[in-house]
Structure 1
């Protein structure tokens, strides 16, 4: 099921989503100050490419909390809301529920990426 879900995900937009996150990560890593944000963009690209069979593990502390707060105010809130809205629309249909759940997972990571780790189930 994971393979089929990831294949359908990639064919219907997951590849372009991951490519966008990957390009954003490269642009952020051009400056020294932007490297931490660029690394989070690379993390989001890995889960945007193949979200089925992966989960998010929180390992954050006080430093991660502060970085997540800044991230949330700068761009994380908009990214998370966009992914959550797509997830809600997909969950309206029965066929779209598995894909909607993956968008909710990406929305959670888009809101709080610092201190989170993507692991295989």
Structure 2
């Protein structure tokens, strides 16, 4: 996937509808870290709205915001395509009440797995 993602900005009249992913240590983030989190969130929201398994993204910009935090965690953990597929399968079935068969989960999981490589936290090395 070589195309750059472009963050989608809501009109100011709808900005209160967006529910940003919050992290326990938001108040201790530097501005570049905060900017990076906002960029990542906007890109993930963009991908979710492009996938749009319900077919309402043209009318409701925040329909899939409930997926931002759990998918964000999976992205940061470097989840595999299979992990994304499994999560999406059960969430679409149990939360959204959709039949996952017709939702192109595997195609979207491929996109998320590719994105995950750019989001994963670098390995931490403990020095003795």
Whichever structure has more strand as a proportion of its residues is 1
Normalising TM by the smaller chain, what interval? Answer: 0.3 to 0.5
Whichever structure has more helix as a proportion of its residues is 1
Structure whose alpha-carbon radius of gyration is higher: 2
Higher relative contact order (CA 8 A, sep 6+): 1
